[in-house]
């Protein structure tokens, strides 16, 4: 699935779940038509194991879990990308839902959601309609969040009006701060 160069191929990947081999279906078969490749791959998940180091661009049409090291670009716009706890990615990541439990040095572009787990770290920018940062996670950069006009608090004047009282003296304002 990858158009990349594996510099240090691991001898084996024992932890990786191996999808069941699909029986080859002849194109001329008169039985039920073979599903399109995209449909057939939906739900499948590839894993880059902890001992794998990939330098280059990753593309494809199945979900990806990165437990190893990747440098370059991860471009799986239609699929979910997970950077596992052992994952170290120095690349921009494009995905549908991008979940980071390891470390990412690069920009994250998630079409649906970006999730930074507690143990995760991102140094770069996040662009996603919905961003979840778990407390304890480390983030340095910018988050570009989609405008949701309907959800804007105070857009219809519902928010509490600020008291227009510039630079009130402490004595006067202390009483107002009773709730504080």
Partner 1 sequence: MSWFSFRTDRREAPAHPVAPPPAVAAPEVHRSLALPAVFEALSRLPKANILDLGPALGANVEHLSSYGCRLTIEDLFLTKTSVAEGDLNADLFAELLPLPGGPQFDVVFAWDLFNYFSRKELAHLTARLRQACKPGAQVLAFLWIHKSIPAQPIHFRFRGTDELVYDRRTALERPGPRFQPAEISQLMSGFHVDRSFLLRHGIQEYLFVRE
- The residues that touch partner 1, with contacts defined as CB under 8 A, are 103, 116, 121, 123, 130-135, 137-149, 151-155, 159-163, 165-168, 170-171, 173-174, 176-180
* CB 177, min distance to partner 1, A: 4
Nearer to partner 1, 38 or 144 (CB): 144
Nearer to partner 1, 29 or 173 (CB): 173
Q: Is the CB of residue 98 less than 8 Å from the CB of residue 110? A: yes
Backbone torsion region of residue 156, taken as left when φ is above 0, otherwise alpha when ψ lies between -120 and 50, otherwise beta: alpha
Nearer to partner 1, 76 or 98 (CB): 98
Cα separation, 110 vs 153, in Å, equals 24
* CB 108, min distance to partner 1, A: 13
Task: Kindly state the DSSP code that residue 134 receives in the 8-state scheme.
Answer: -
Cα separation, 47 vs 110, in Å, equals 19
Nearer to partner 1, 30 or 135 (CB): 135
Residue pointed to by tokens 């040095």: 105
SS3 state of residue 94? strand
């Amino acid at each position: 699935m990858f158009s990349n160069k594996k510099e240090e191929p691991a001898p084996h990947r024992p932890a990786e779940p191996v999808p069941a081999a699909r029986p080859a279906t002849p194109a001329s078969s008169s039985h039920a038509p073979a599903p399109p490749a995209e449909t057939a791959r939906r739900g499948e998940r590839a894993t880059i194991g902890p001992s794998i180091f990939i330098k280059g661009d990753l593309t494809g049409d199945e979900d990806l879990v990165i437990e190893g090291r990747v440098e370059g670009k991860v471009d799986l716009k239609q699929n979910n990308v997970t950077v596992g706890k052992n994952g170290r990615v120095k690349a921009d990541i494009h995905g549908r839902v991008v979940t980071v439990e390891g470390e990412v040095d690069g920009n994250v572009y998630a079409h649906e959601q970006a999730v930074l787990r507690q143990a995760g770290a991102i140094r770069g920018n996040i662009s996603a309609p919905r961003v979840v940062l778990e407390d304890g996670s480390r983030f340095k950069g910018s988050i570009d969040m989609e405008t949701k006009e309907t959800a804007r608090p105070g857009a219809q004047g519902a928010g509490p009006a600020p008291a227009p009282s510039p630079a009130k003296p402490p004595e006067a304002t202390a009483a107002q701060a009773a709730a504080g």
